[in-house]
Structure 1
């Protein structure tokens, strides 16, 4: 295998491992979920900003009003994604939350069809239907079977789905801006807006921004460096070197990795309903993601 093929695949493998740690770091944190989300985004922005100033100092200043609006919408969608998903982990299992938040390809193709008039194939429809069936199994099965993991699994699952929907909005709203800007200016601007939006939520709820133990600050930094920098940055870099279908399918390793880490580090065993429903959801997401290529 040549280096041009091996290096992106190695980068994807590292990225999936890094992203898979996100749910565990969130669970370990005792800070309010929206505060943890704020510091993850803020610290990621702070780490990227010096590189942006050194390499793309003029790119952000060249943005038009239209592109600034797109950046704002994208950042707000990303903030809503983090807020909903971080909160979901307080109420449902890691396996269910991470699987459902990965459902964003379903919302992307549906939104592209409704809002952008993009073509929808029969395979796309089948993928969406399969994924929805898996979501129903996962969300209702635990309650009917009496083996739910988490204090309010249905509520947590709903929040994770909202997180997936907002992630889809992040993708759709950012399309024009991503075409206009290189990767680093794009993600820095969007993360900056997301940090401001999350800060507004924290302040509106009257939550403390300081007074946390050093352990919490290390967890915030870990969320920024691991899932934020090593995870999503490597994924975006890989998109320039391998097919997006390979990237989409590889990212489905996150629910599996997160569930395994939750089993090992949190002693959290997903129920049989979550495992069965999650497998169906992942199959539907795979069909949907591949059909959009």
Structure 2
């Protein structure tokens, strides 16, 4: 998910942007693993991941970007609110998908959000879709269909793979909505103020839905709180925030293609940690999806 960079690139950056990008991809590859390890309700996991991320970023925003936070226009606040609601739907649907399908299928399908960004930009913003982009979308859709029916070809150990895969696709669509809704704001607002506002709305939305669903907010063992914090620090701060920093120093196509490493990293971790061995149709469908995303994003 692309958000604004922390600032303009400089030649004296003390950290190699490529090295930072590699660390970020490794960090986000742990996201599905941490979610799967937690036994808390999906909405609770999503809420605390976002809430802890806000808690970690808010002091930076208040110290360095107080003026930017106080000068949000009404238009930008409306757009950021919409982006926050869309992001809440993304987290809720994707976290829940991991309860029903394999890590490999869930992460690959949710990573398809660039396809829906391209389609949404064409349908809603009248942006032109070139032949290469259209071909990439078509290829990826073929792979997504194959992944969705892979359990019919070679049953996996997942309890409800079709339902879980559908939720992951919903997660991709809502992630695309998050990107499209906040696109205009991101050209005017720095990363940290934007993220704090959007994540605050996201956390509030998840909190309301979780309470309405009857999910308890407290009473979890220490292990769960450690996992909640790890989700915020690892995939949240060292993952997506570093990726947004890298966008100020690297071509966006390099960053987009690098993110295709997340499904691979998550699948390998799930293989060793959970014993999840992807079926041949799932691997084939996933490879087709990733190739389609590569064609679309590069």
- Compute the TM-score of the two structures, normalised by the length of structure 2: 0.95
How far did 1:242 drift?
A: 0.4
- 2:43 corresponds in structure 1 to 34
Find the counterpart in structure 2 of residue 161 from structure 1. Answer: 169
Deviation at 1:6, TM superposition (A): 7.2
Deviation sequence 1:230-266 (CA, Å, 0-9, x none): 0001000000000000000000000000000001111
- How far has the Cα of 1:179 moved from its partner? 1.2
Answer yes or no: is the 8 Å Cα contact 2:144–2:289 preserved in 1: yes
Query: Alpha-carbon deviation of 1:5?
Result: 10
Q: Deviations over 1:195-250 (max 9, x none)?
A: 00100110110110000000000000000000000000100000000000000000
Contact 1:71–1:189 (Cα < 8 Å) also in 2: yes
Q: Counterparts of 1:106 and 1:93 in 2: how far apart (Å)?
A: 21
Separation in 2, partners of 1:57, 1:141: 50
Structure 1's consecutive aligned runs of 4 or more residues displaced over 6 angstroms after TM superposition are: none
> Which of the numbers 274, 285, 288 marks the counterpart of 1:266?
274
Report what 1:87 is aligned to. Answer: 96
Q: Residue in 2 aligned with 1:71?
A: 80
Q: Would you say the 8 A contact 2:153–2:281 is kept in 1?
A: no
Residue 152 of structure 1, aligned match among 157, 160, 182: 160
Superposed CA deviations along residues 177-202 of structure 1, whole A, max 9, x for unmatched, are 11121111011111000000100110
Question: 2:30 aligned to 1, 21, 33, which one?
Answer: 21
Asked whether 1:179 is paired with 2:196, we answer no
Moved more, 70-79 or 5-14: 5-14
Q: Deviations over 1:256-281 (max 9, x none)?
A: 00000001111111111111100000
User: Is the 1:94–1:262 contact (alpha carbons within 8 Å) kept by the matching residues of 2?
Assistant: yes
Is this contact kept in 2: 1:106–1:288, CA < 8 A? yes
Give structure 2 stretches of 5+ with no counterpart. 1-10
1:139 maps to which of 139, 148, 158:
148
If each structure's helix is expressed as a fraction of its own residues, which one has the higher value?
Answer: 1
Q: Which moved more, 1:176-185 or 1:225-234?
A: 176-185
Structure 1 portions without partners, runs of 5+: none
Q: Is residue 125 from structure 1 mapped to residue 134 from structure 2 by the alignment? A: yes
Distance, in Å, in 1 between the alignment partners of 2:209 and 2:269 is: 30
Shift of 1:166: 0.5
Q: RMSD in angstroms over aligned alpha carbons?
A: 1.2
Contact 1:149 1:271 in 2 (8 A): no
Matches within 5 A, 1:31-70: 31-70=40-79
Cα separation, 2, equivalents of 1:238 and 1:40: 22
- Equivalent residue pairs, number: 288
Normalising by structure 1, we get a TM-score of: 0.96
Match of 1:239 among 209, 226, 247: 247
Secondary structure, aligned partner of 1:220: helix
Q: Is the 8 A contact 1:19 1:231 kept in 2?
A: yes
Distance 1:19 1:274 in 2: 21
